[in-house]
Amino acid sequence: MTKHDASRRAFLVRAAVGAGAAAGAGLVPDAIAQNHDHMEGGTATPGAQHPSGSEHGAFFNHTDAATIAAFTERIMPSEPGKPGARDADVLNYIDLALAGAYAELQDFYRRGLAQLEAYCRGVYKEPFVRLSPEHQDEVIASLENGNATGFAYPTAREFFNVLRTHTMEGMFADPLYGGNRDFAGWRLVGFPGAQAIFTPTDLQSKLEFTRAPIVGLQITAKGPMGRG
């Protein structure tokens, strides 16, 4: 018993020190600050405005917000009638998640964004947000297949996988969490939300379900569901 008590205390101490060290890591905030300075030095860059139109910035600064908005929009592009990351406000979802449920990933994002910027500047001489959509897609593909250089932690693949996962969460999680605005993601795929019941007639139908409004945790769409 005493042996377990000792190891348990040691674990708790380590955990506490680990958390402090991560939060206080000096290197990465500096790198981000440099990027930020550079961006601020230009005129009216795409990142100067919070792309969601909201200014609260729970976690990201403007520069990081612009990068995440651009990146997630390439993962799920918006087109008329086909809601994407911008329409669903995926940026807002990720921003809120990193300030709360995913706070332990703050350092992952800081380092990942710094590495992404360094990679883009190295290859294209520009930050990610200023690249053409074609070049942005090249960058994302190089993360996905692990070919992007200069990534240590997170690795290029890890950073891609987390951004893809969080994009899907922001598209499809209940609007309560800050994304899936106006059920944009659910309209894209035709998901009616948390319906409490499907009838035998619903189960027998070969047609799309449009009988009832989309149901969310706090809000229900007006009128029967429809896409786009």
Partner 1 sequence: MAIEKTDVVIVGMGAVGGIVAAELGKAGMKVIGLERGPRLTTADFNPHDELRYFQRQELRPNWKRQPVTWRPNARATAHPLNVLNYGNQAGGGTVHYGTLSWRMHEDDFRARSQTIERYGASAIPEDSSLADWPLSYADLEPFYDRTEYELGVSGKAGNLQGRKIDGGNIFEAPRSREYPLPPLLDDQSGVLFAEGARKLGYHPFSSPRAIISQPYHDRASCTYCGFCQAFGCHVGAKSSILVTKLPEADATGNFRLLTGTMCYHVNTDNSGRATGVSYYGPDGSDNTMEAEIVILSPFIYDNTRLLLLSKTDKFPNGLANSSGQLGKHVMAHIMARIFAAYDDRFVNIYMGPSAQKHTLDDFNADNFDHSGLGFIRGGQISVSTADLEAGPIGTAMSMDPPPGTPKWGAAYRDFLGKYFTRYAAINSQTENLAYADQTIDLDPNVRDQYGMPAPRITYDWRRPNETARVEFLLQKLEGVGHAMGATKVWRGALSPGVPGAHHEGGTRMGNDPKTSVTNRYGQTWDIPNLFVIGSSTFPSMSGFNPTLTIQALAYMSADAIAKRYKSRPGPLA
What does the binding site for partner 1 look like in residue numbers (CB under 8 A)?
Answer: 1, 4-5, 7-12, 74-77, 79, 82, 84, 101, 104, 137, 140, 144, 164-165, 167-169, 171-174, 176-177, 185-186, 188-191, 194-200, 202-209, 215, 217
Of the pair 190, 226, the CB lying nearest partner 1 is at: 190
Residue 141 beta carbon to partner 1: minimum distance, rounded to whole angstroms: 8
Residue 52 beta carbon to partner 1: minimum distance, rounded to whole angstroms: 19
Instruction: List 220's β-bridge partners, or say none.
Output: 215
Of the pair 27, 194, the CB lying nearest partner 1 is at: 194
**Of 88, 68, 61, 84, residue with least CA distance to 136:** 68
Looking at the chain, which runs of residues are DSSP E strands? none
Residue 182 beta carbon to partner 1: minimum distance, rounded to whole angstroms: 15
Locate tokens 């990534």: which residue? 151
Residue 168 beta carbon to partner 1: minimum distance, rounded to whole angstroms: 4
CB atoms within 10 A of CB 208: 11
Residue 98 beta carbon to partner 1: minimum distance, rounded to whole angstroms: 14
- Token pair, residue 191, equals 């998901």
Of the pair 62, 186, the CB lying nearest partner 1 is at: 186
Of the pair 61, 137, the CB lying nearest partner 1 is at: 137
Task: Give residues with Cβ within 8 angstroms of 27, minimum separation 6.
Answer: none
Of the pair 76, 131, the CB lying nearest partner 1 is at: 76
Long-range contacts (CB closer than 8 Å, 24 or more residues apart) made by 129-133: 129/45, 129/46, 129/47, 129/66, 129/67, 129/70, 130/45, 130/46, 133/74
Residue 121 beta carbon to partner 1: minimum distance, rounded to whole angstroms: 23
**Of 26, 37, 51, 56, residue with least CA distance to 127:** 37
Of the pair 83, 127, the CB lying nearest partner 1 is at: 83
The span from the CA of 205 to the CA of 21, in Å, is 56
Residue 165 beta carbon to partner 1: minimum distance, rounded to whole angstroms: 7
DSSP state of 193: B
Of the pair 4, 125, the CB lying nearest partner 1 is at: 4
Instruction: List 82's β-bridge partners, or say none.
Output: 79
